[in-house]
Structure 1
């Protein structure tokens, strides 16, 4: 085991050291070598060192270098050094974080990390929380609590009796709702298409004046950080208008919620702390390893009622029992990495991470605009939408050429009918040098 883990560390260090000089997108030759893994299941055991060598030799070159500083697609952060090392330790510990009796350490670190998260995200101190896989499951968790609360208020026990015959729940979303939230609604039996869609402005913000009259059990889903523009729904206008309706307000803040950690950008979240639940990702702007989603629910009793589990052999101790707040029972100790990231960054370091990446986004937008390209969004956060004209084929060709160059990775999108290139700058590893190299590559291809 010692030899194997030391070799693993050596190979991992070599991989990380090479990120700054390798292509962000894997080469076609490397991808061809993925066929080396396609073989019948071996009949006999293989030396673990040989397994590791195969994995590194043919696996590492085929990865997308999203752990480096020039991956600007899908709002993907890297892994902070402390978070990565904590991930390794958590893997060695192999703790089941479902019950405190299975891992007092995991339960304790989750409790502490949750308290720290509520602090930096400026959420109510008595808010409940859950450590899940990503934004989809975070919204699922929070909306399960919403479903319980609204139907319990109507005299219906949805966990016991299901949705057959239950009072209907109206769900209100914006026209730019993220598909992960719709997926969560579908899994909850609330329907992906049974939603009421509110018109949005040219930045994707819900128009607060367009809300219908609310009657009966209702969930309103706001967006903190549009995945294309970075824009925020006007919560400070919407939530106060809903207070008399008893509607449940949920916030999809997969990356935008982290703006609260920055004194310079916290104003974007004005009014959001008055919501009933929030969903975000740790593996986006907090830069912890995959997977790491976070759900926050103001009403702890509703979250527990919606997601709790019991059996005579599931021992309950004096610590907070994680399995009572999440869809999963057995799961890995995600809170270890969250704790390590926050402990290493501190309040000032987290604010700097948010502000530095936002500055890079604004700088890139300014440089691209000076070069004659059209920026489609108001760069309020870390997202930049670049137009190469209205021809989708031209836009896709330029993006493909940029990707093939390997200097940086950018992605295509369609913004309110117009093809565009999207830049999402979220990684602690991004440097000024990365930004300059990437700008050079983008501008070179945009002129061809």
Structure 2
């Protein structure tokens, strides 16, 4: 939804009505995103007819956040034209956040649309302890965010926020004579591609009503603290934590790739806790994401002990 709104606006700025005329013959839209973007960016570009050839990857820093200098150079070299930039609040592997304030300023100076993928990292804004990580978020044109991670809401709960409601509705709405209220003020079905979507707004309202502002902040802070506890415990046990733990993501190596995969498989079979594997910067790693509202310090300690027990029982070198 965010990128559909972006497509509408950047082409309208170029004098092209994409909803009426489609993409054939339209000015080329350039999309810039970090090299470590989430895969849904690529899928969205395919579904919107822009295609992945429109994508220009921008290099990232040591923790996976987009390099602002590289973004500035890419925008400068591209010159004028319809431009969308996809930024990230919470790298899916490391939790790193882009410098949103500087990046959004760059995008807007080049007349582009700044979209922020904040699947889980957007919630950092709820806590005074982590709010600085998403400074400048409010200057973006659109955000995407999930509720099924940190808020522990039903799985298909997600949000699209657009700073320009008229653009959002123009990109997504539809009308039919038999639909009550159709063609009037935009309603829920005018803002999403899912006309038959369940009333997820009720579950969101109930969750936020239960937690309150302080409850959401406490949930974010506790998960971040537990992630650091995971990192400290596994480091003390002799394993390699490869990322700066800034949110709730922890990446751990157990030696070579094959050994790490064997440890991940052993942990999943053991059943004390569950952690998946990932590939980051060419290495296979265990990815620990702390988001369960009921996880405790005792759970973390028990999990660290189980991971250590299983890893030490697998042959091979621990040191990468």
Whole-Å Cα distance in 2 between the matches of residues 236 and 301 of structure 1? Answer: 24
The answer for the alignment partner of 2:163 in structure 1 is 298
Whole-Å Cα distance in 2 between the matches of residues 198 and 422 of structure 1? Answer: 24
Residue 194 (structure 1) shift: 2.7
Residue 47 of structure 2 is aligned to residue 182 of structure 1: no
The answer for the alignment partner of 1:350 in structure 2 is 216
Kindly provide the CA deviation profile for residues 82-110 of structure 1, in whole angstroms up to 9, marking residues without a partner as x.
xxxxxxxxxxxxxxxxxxxxxxxxxxxxx
Q: State the SS of the aligned residue for 1:189.
A: coil
The answer for the alignment partner of 1:329 in structure 2 is 195
1:254 pairs, out of 114, 119, 125, with: 119
The answer for the alignment partner of 2:308 in structure 1 is 443
Residue 183 of structure 2 is aligned to residue 282 of structure 1: no
Whole-Å Cα distance in 1 between the matches of residues 207 and 185 of structure 2? Answer: 23
Residue 182 (structure 1) shift: 1.1
Whole-Å Cα distance in 1 between the matches of residues 187 and 102 of structure 2? Answer: 37
Whole-Å Cα distance in 2 between the matches of residues 386 and 197 of structure 1? Answer: 26
Residue 22 of structure 2 is aligned to residue 162 of structure 1: yes
The answer for the alignment partner of 1:70 in structure 2 is none
2:97 pairs, out of 215, 218, 232, with: 232
Kindly provide the CA deviation profile for residues 367-409 of structure 1, in whole angstroms up to 9, marking residues without a partner as x.
11112111100000000000112x2111111111111111111
**Pair member with larger Rg:** 1
Residue 105 of structure 2 is aligned to residue 245 of structure 1: no
Q: State the SS of the aligned residue for 1:395.
A: helix
1:424 pairs, out of 284, 289, 307, with: 289
Whole-Å Cα distance in 2 between the matches of residues 153 and 237 of structure 1? Answer: 23
Residue 440 (structure 1) shift: 0.9
The answer for the alignment partner of 2:207 in structure 1 is 341
The answer for the alignment partner of 2:134 in structure 1 is 269
The answer for the alignment partner of 1:88 in structure 2 is none
Find runs of 4+ consecutive structure 1 residues off by over 4 angstroms. Answer: 317-320
CA RMSD of aligned residues (A): 1.3
Query: Unmatched 5+ residue regions in structure 1?
Result: 1-140
Q: State the SS of the aligned residue for 2:84.
A: strand
The answer for the alignment partner of 2:4 in structure 1 is 144
Q: State the SS of the aligned residue for 1:419.
A: strand
1:396 pairs, out of 255, 261, 265, with: 261
The answer for the alignment partner of 1:96 in structure 2 is none
Number of matched residues?
A: 307
Kindly provide the CA deviation profile for residues 381-438 of structure 1, in whole angstroms up to 9, marking residues without a partner as x.
000000112x211111111111111111111111101111110000101112211211
Whole-Å Cα distance in 2 between the matches of residues 250 and 385 of structure 1? Answer: 26
1:363 pairs, out of 224, 229, 232, with: 229
Residue 320 (structure 1) shift: 5.5
Matches within 5 A, 1:206-225: 206-211=66-71, 212=74, 213=76, 214-225=79-90
Residue 319 (structure 1) shift: 7.4
TM-score normalised per structure 2: 0.93
Q: Which has the higher contact order (CA 8 A, sep 6+)?
A: 1
CA contact (8 A) 2:118 2:144 kept: yes
TM-score normalised per structure 1: 0.67
Residue 189 (structure 1) shift: 0.9
Residue 271 of structure 2 is aligned to residue 411 of structure 1: no
Whole-Å Cα distance in 2 between the matches of residues 274 and 183 of structure 1? Answer: 25
Residue 63 of structure 2 is aligned to residue 197 of structure 1: no
Whole-Å Cα distance in 2 between the matches of residues 285 and 326 of structure 1? Answer: 22
Residue 246 (structure 1) shift: 1.1
The answer for the alignment partner of 1:386 in structure 2 is 252
Whole-Å Cα distance in 2 between the matches of residues 172 and 242 of structure 1? Answer: 10
